[in-house]
Amino acid sequence: MRLTQVTPFVPCTSLEKQLRFYRDVLGFDVGHMAEGVYAYLRRDEVAVRLVQVSGTVDLSDPQRENSFYIDVQGINAVWLEMQRRLQELPEGRVRAPFDQDYGQREFHVADEDCTLIFFGEAIQRH
């Protein structure tokens, strides 16, 4: 017996805007959708569940601090594949690849409602 995957529920104030972001910018495919309230997206072995919340909910509140981490293989190739689309986002939503002290190479992207998505790969030590 083993656990096989974690799939975050990501709240959003506009399911339509988030779908475009995850699909058109990050390259996810829409697997299932309940119109206007829920979408299941997948890219390779990673899945995300978008859930529509009331437009009165302030998802940009820094105390909310919603984020998730996606482990990848070939982080530089993933960055290059997304880079052109990421550059079209407003300033401050993307942090280019960099090495962390804890042995990961990462880049960070904030989605339409300020959920922070970390992409990371272990740095190979020789």
**Average pLDDT for runs of 10 along the chain of length 126:** 80 92 96 91 95 81 80 95 95 95 94 92 84
The number of domains in the chain is 1
For residue 70, the model assigns a pLDDT of 94
* Residue 81 covered by a domain: yes
Q: Which residues of 79-108 are buried (b: 16+ CB within 10 A; e: fewer)?
A: beebeeebeeeeeebbeebeeeeeebbbbb
Beta-strand runs (E) in 86-126: 94-99, 104-110, 116-122
Residue 85 in any domain: the answer is: yes
CATH number, domain containing residue 47: 3.10.180.10
Whether 32 is in a domain gets the answer: yes
Terminus-to-terminus CA distance in the chain, angstroms? 33
Residue 58's pLDDT is what?
74
Instruction: Tell whether 78 is covered by a domain.
Output: yes
User: Containing domain of residue 94, as a range?
Assistant: 9-55+64-122
Amino acid (1-letter code) at residue 80: L
Tell me, yes or no, whether 101 lies in a domain: yes
In a domain, 4, yes or no: no
Token reading at 66: 């919603």
pTM for the model stands at: 0.87
Residue 1, in any domain of the structure: no
Question: Does 18 fall in a domain?
Answer: yes
The pLDDT of residue 56: 79
- Give the Cα separation of 76 and 94 in Å (integer): 15
* Cα–Cα distance measured from residue 81 to residue 26, given in angstroms and rounded to the nearest whole number: 9
Strand order in the sheet with 116-122: 67-71, 116-122, 104-110, 94-99
Q: What DSSP state is assigned to residue 17?
A: H
